[in-house]
Structure 1
């Protein structure tokens, strides 16, 4: 059964979406005997960076996600850095001493046996809305094999899209929901182009776009549109009925330079 955390009553459609996603991730990870798969998210406000909260978790190890949000751990670090993370033994990692102490000090009555069965963990983070971050994670009794992170990376876009659409449709309105969908679509298109040109994986392509966005303080969506236009030497196709994203000269130059770095030409 999926355990739901800090999901707003306005986000009821998100419950069904997350249940479906977590169920499918669990099925694919069955060979590694997952103890928990979970979605955490946070949204930055005017007062500071995003504070992650658990939205939903499947499996007996769901409380282990809560422990990380309190004591630190791979989920928190991955969301803060935006980079995927995996560890073969979460308890032996010097980066999270308070997490190990929380188990040794008996701060998990009734959960100690489950927590002790957890060793490896993998986390796939992503951005999902203006200032928002999310992560799809899995903990397993053995090492966090590379295929585990590959599965999480494949489902991460679904998590991000679900959060984006539900938030936009319930908080910002239907028009913003359509804008978010359009943004996700063009970003995925740009990621696909980078993967095809460089042979990297989807997350590495995302990192390329995100790095360019952060280094030049340009919205990732705008860089993605400019990149598609540069590759195709024509304006990117955009749905009718919504304001177009029209990259300025600076954004076009950043996209051109980014593509040169990727392709070497």
Structure 2
């Protein structure tokens, strides 16, 4: 089974309306309350089409939307509250027209498909979703949003932890034979590669070919034992261990 990795870049754009004034409670029952607020002093040059009212229990971190419906007015009755609990409320707004988004990778138009998709979480939040990330997916991703109110952009760099994609296999050989351990790796930044034999780092350059291939010619009894490949970069590390066994003649 292959390794499965997901990368997400949340990108949020608003059409630059002002910030709504602090919401306040005008009435309440044991399990509901009516929250009111004043509209922002500026709509950013576009009509405000929706208010997003969120709640959370006091001293908790997670905010939750109070409804999936549009809130066009400056008040809303919140139901389903629990008597004795303390709640906090906050507001977000959105306007029109929605922006046109342009996505790029390393300065070139981004190619979309089953592997790379954009998910719109709400009216002003989009997530770039990349499945089964490989070395070729690393790079700088940029999105530019444009509408009549102006243009905004942001970017993020995708780096990958060091990992071993295909691991070498243990072998049993006779003395004098040649052993070759080969594996596929990736990672960005490029990982540091180290081969270790029985806790001793292998430094002889003629044994190591292209970093991911270890060759031992004319195998001797002292070459038997475990061999460990270690990868590391600033995002993570990976290891694989194999063994050489010497067959008795």
TM-score class, shorter:
under 0.3
Higher strand share: 2
Q: Give the structure with higher Rg (CA).
A: 2
Could you tell me the TM-score, scaled by structure 1's length?
Answer: 0.24
Could you tell me the TM-score, scaled by structure 2's length?
Answer: 0.25
Higher helix share: 1
